[in-house]
Amino acid sequence: MESASSSSSLDSEGNQHRHDCGRVWNGMSMDARYIPALRRLVPPDHRAVGCVRCMISRGRKRTPQVCVLVEHMQEHCVLICAEEGALPNATLKSDSRFPINVDFRIDIEPVSTVGGSRVITANLSYKRKKLIFEADYDDTADRFVKEISKAFENSKYRNTPASDYLWVEVYKNNSKFFLDVNPEDEDDLGEENKASRECMVKCLMQEREDEFTVLNEFRIFTGTWNVNGMAPPESLSEWLASSAPNEPPDVYAIGFQELDLSKEAFVFADSPREKEWLLKVKESLHPKGRYKEIKTVRLIGMMLSVFVEEKHAPFVANVDCNSLGTGILGMMGNKGGVGVRLDLHSTSICFVNCHLAAHAEERERRNQDFNDIRNKLSFNQMRPAKSVSEHDQIYWMGDMNYRLQDTTKQHVEQACANNDFSSLWERDQLRDQQAKRIIFIGFEEGPLNFKPTYKYDVGTNQWDTSEKARVPAYCDRVLWRGNNIRQLCYKSHDNFVISDHKPVLAEFSSGIRVVDAVKRKEIYQELMKQLDKEENDFMPQVTVDEHYLNFGRVHFYERVQRSFKITNTGPVIVRFLFKEQPKGRRYAKDWLKADPHNGTLKKGESCDITLEILVDPASASKLNMGEEKMSEVLVLHLVDGKDIFISVDMEYQHSCFGCSLEALVRHMTPIGLLPQETLIALETDPVKNAELGVPFETPTELWIIMDALQRKGLSGGNIFGKSGSQVEIQTVREALDTKRPDGQLDVSVHAVAECLLLFLSALREPVIPYCFFKKCLDSSVTYTQAKSVIQELPKVHRDTFRYLVLFLQELLQKSKRLEVNILATIFSAVMIRPPQDGQMTPSKERMRSVFLYHFLVNHCEV
């Protein structure tokens, strides 16, 4: 209790300033150079508590930023901002937000010394977002970090329900302009943009509200009466229907105190008095008006009822009410306040009825009660919750209990007799405390041109004749705050004698903003147009210097590169990537690669993108057969923007790499010299379209490779230990595809060895055909089983297999440096390949290697 009240007085101090100048700048944790920027960043009803320049590290990224702590209705949020432009004219753009609620953590590390200067470090996190804050250690930075941890501590003990921090959304607006490339935030980006459009529309419409609303005069009638627990009199018309006969009020707000002094009213929510009085009020409203009850709220003896003329009812929205006790534990007391809020057309209105602490000497207590109600009474059905002060118009009535001080009953009676009320006003505690800016800051009150309303002998119009002979006082008051409010009348009614108080009324002519629907639509459309324009103008834009790249003729395993330039010509940073193709395909066919295939470009920046074609064994046979188009369209996508097509064309020179054994053994002419159609025919039906009536046992190409290896010598260490150069491999390929060399290939043994492996792995159907793959693994346990699989192979496959095994055995004999299991692994990988959809696993790899191993260590009998 103690700590709560002290913190609330702190708040009230803060709020006082808030109404003076819009926001409070707490000098201690604020780098004053940023005040102009903060004025632009922080809306009027938020408060910047602190601000420092710092280094922020996210993952490996470390950037200089500005960290701001903002507050709204006792909730806090840390903003990480980018600084644009130079001080003092810099602008702050928030790029991430850390609301200080249950998902927030702060961890302050001991001050450390880095390179001679002292640094304060803190780890901040919010849900999955994490960052490290570092700032040069000084008083400001120290206080700033402490403010954050204080806010965090307070957030744990806040007794009002936490809002969903929607108020933070306003800082998201500039996300479009500051692209946060922090990957953790990436998924939010799209959502954020949408939210920001929605938010911006609302915000901008509100800014221009003046243009599409007109002020209409509404009569608002407020009344307050402490009824001393009595039953209602015959009629209240004299009080409630006292406006001009033909001018019924548009709105009534009637407040009672001590409506029910029974014990039941303290203990139970129910009060029979409530119904009695309410009924009487309804009967006594202005006879020319038809009223709808909007809301009635009661806390023990305090009741507040709001009515509007029926014709206005459709324009009332967002009605909410709440109450706040200020007695012991905030609940048992009969003191406190009740409030009703509503939007009437476009004006938000809050009515408060209060009953503050009694007794002349309890002035401080009353001040405290007032400020508690003012700060803590909030309307929680609103999103976000709304405080009393967040309304365009506030009408505050009640038994305030402030007394006349430094005067006597005689003097008061004398003054009243002379109608010299003004001499009483300067002795009024409420006016005094208000002038000292302790209570009712920003509120107005009309002249009290009526007699004090307390304390009368019940049943009379006589002031207290008891022994106490209290000095009369203006306990019962109505004050207001807001624009366009004119008080028409402020008076009391002597003729009601049931209570020791007299009823008071205050009538107002208030300007209510009414929307001009046609104008509003015009402005809305204009706004949409403007937002569309902004959105379109801030779309990422790039130019590319080539839309079409022709690679010309490309050969098997020939690496060819072309590049194009992409330049950011737009107004924003660009992120680009190559989009996946339809049907979930990679961004390009397997033989095409882009480097880089994604990246970021600052304004005006360019970057070269290299496209590389490499037709490897996996693509060779499809291209040979014309099964895959030799062109591709890459989709270069700009994040949040358009797509650009980059067309790639090539002409693939078909090759013996990628043919089938069946085709290869049935022709004489080198494959490269055949027209592609002939090759396709040969592949489609090798027997029918054969060049040779009697096929070779194994392909000529394979024989040439083996022969070259033999000639170059197999004994020189591991011939598979190095790879050949690009040029050498092309030399071998060219030889195999276009002429029948006599074995004199002018390349290293390693190049020929590599070609052997490429040749085997490019075969359209592997040496062990795909359909035997599974059987092969299943039969890898014993040599006998393995042999039986080979027996089943088609002849050319069996012959080729034998040919290879004999070659490998010879190789093992000649080269002491080659180990049999390594050789088995290398060759099984190219000879025993899984079908297209088959997955390889380490154990499958081991099994196929074992399969081949049997043949290498045993006498070959197939």
Partner 1 sequence: MSNRAQGGPGNGATAGKICQFKLVLLGESAVGKSSLVLRFVKGQFHEYQESTIGAAFLTQTVCLDDTTVKFEIWDTAGQERYHSLAPMYYRGAQAAIVVYDLTNPDTFSRAKTWVKELQRQASPNIVIALAGNKADLASKRAVETAEAQAYADENQLLFMETSAKTATNVNDIFLAIAKKLPKNDAANQQGQRLNVAQSAESNQSGGCCK
Q: Which residue number, 126 or 556, has a Cβ lying nearer to partner 1?
A: 126
Which span sits near partner 1 by CB under 8 A: 29-37, 74-82, 150-158, 161-169? Answer: 161-169
Backbone dihedral angles phi then psi of residue 509, each to the nearest 5 degrees: -110, 110
Backbone dihedral angles phi then psi of residue 464, each to the nearest 5 degrees: -30, 115
Binds partner 1 by CB under 8 A, chosen from 372, 392, 507, 737: 392
Interface mask (CB under 8 A) for partner 1, residues 199-238, using x and -? xxxxx-xxx-x-----------------------------
468 to 507, contacts with partner 1 by CB under 8 A?
481-483
- Least separation in angstroms between residue 634's CB and partner 1 is 10
Q: Pick the closest to residue 755 from 791, 731, 780 (CA basis).
A: 731
Q: Report d(CA 308, CA 293) in Å as an integer.
A: 7
Q: Which residue number, 443 or 803, has a Cβ lying nearer to partner 1?
A: 443
Question: Which residues have C-beta within 8 Å of that of residue 20, sequence separation ≥ 6?
Answer: none
Which span sits near partner 1 by CB under 8 A: 42-50, 491-499, 595-603, 779-787? Answer: 42-50
Binds partner 1 by CB under 8 A, chosen from 178, 421, 524, 803: 524
Cβ contact 301:257 at 8 Å: yes
Give the three-state DSSP class for 96.
Answer: strand
Binds partner 1 by CB under 8 A, chosen from 46, 374, 491, 750: 46
314 binds partner 1 (CB under 8 A): yes
DSSP symbol at 725 = P
Strands (E), 516-583: 542-544, 548-554, 560-568, 574-578
Binds partner 1 by CB under 8 A, chosen from 130, 146, 197, 775: 197
444 binds partner 1 (CB under 8 A): no
- Least separation in angstroms between residue 73's CB and partner 1 is 10
Give the three-state DSSP class for 166.
Answer: helix
620 to 659, contacts with partner 1 by CB under 8 A?
631, 633, 635-636, 641-645, 647
725 to 764, contacts with partner 1 by CB under 8 A?
none
Q: Which residue number, 193 or 676, has a Cβ lying nearer to partner 1?
A: 193
CA distances (Å), 378 to each of 166, 359, 384, 715, in order? 16, 27, 10, 92
Residue with tokens 């305030």: 400
Q: Report d(CA 135, CA 142) in Å as an integer.
A: 9
- Least separation in angstroms between residue 213's CB and partner 1 is 9
Q: Report d(CA 371, CA 8) in Å as an integer.
A: 8
Q: Report d(CA 321, CA 338) in Å as an integer.
A: 7
Q: Report d(CA 679, CA 658) in Å as an integer.
A: 11
- In this structure, which amino acid lies at residue 838? G
44 binds partner 1 (CB under 8 A): yes
Which span sits near partner 1 by CB under 8 A: 40-48, 98-106, 175-183, 620-628? Answer: 40-48
Q: Which residue number, 146 or 520, has a Cβ lying nearer to partner 1?
A: 520
Binds partner 1 by CB under 8 A, chosen from 275, 529, 559, 739: 529
169 binds partner 1 (CB under 8 A): yes
Q: Which residue number, 386 or 403, has a Cβ lying nearer to partner 1?
A: 386
CA-based max dimension of the chain: 141
DSSP symbol at 604 = T
Q: Pick the closest to residue 656 from 708, 592, 711, 702 (CA basis).
A: 702
168 binds partner 1 (CB under 8 A): yes
- Least separation in angstroms between residue 529's CB and partner 1 is 7
- Least separation in angstroms between residue 846's CB and partner 1 is 42
Binds partner 1 by CB under 8 A, chosen from 384, 452, 503, 670: 384
Cβ contact 752:551 at 8 Å: no
Interface mask (CB under 8 A) for partner 1, residues 340-379, using x and -? ---xxxxxx-------------------------------
Measured from the Cβ of residue 707, the count of other Cβ atoms closer than 10 Å reads 15
- Least separation in angstroms between residue 550's CB and partner 1 is 13
194 binds partner 1 (CB under 8 A): yes
Question: Which residues have C-beta within 8 Å of that of residue 402, sequence separation ≥ 6?
Answer: 356, 363, 366, 428, 429, 430, 433, 473, 474, 475, 477
Cβ contact 729:751 at 8 Å: yes
- Least separation in angstroms between residue 314's CB and partner 1 is 8
Which span sits near partner 1 by CB under 8 A: 33-41, 522-530, 564-572, 803-811? Answer: 522-530
- Least separation in angstroms between residue 169's CB and partner 1 is 3
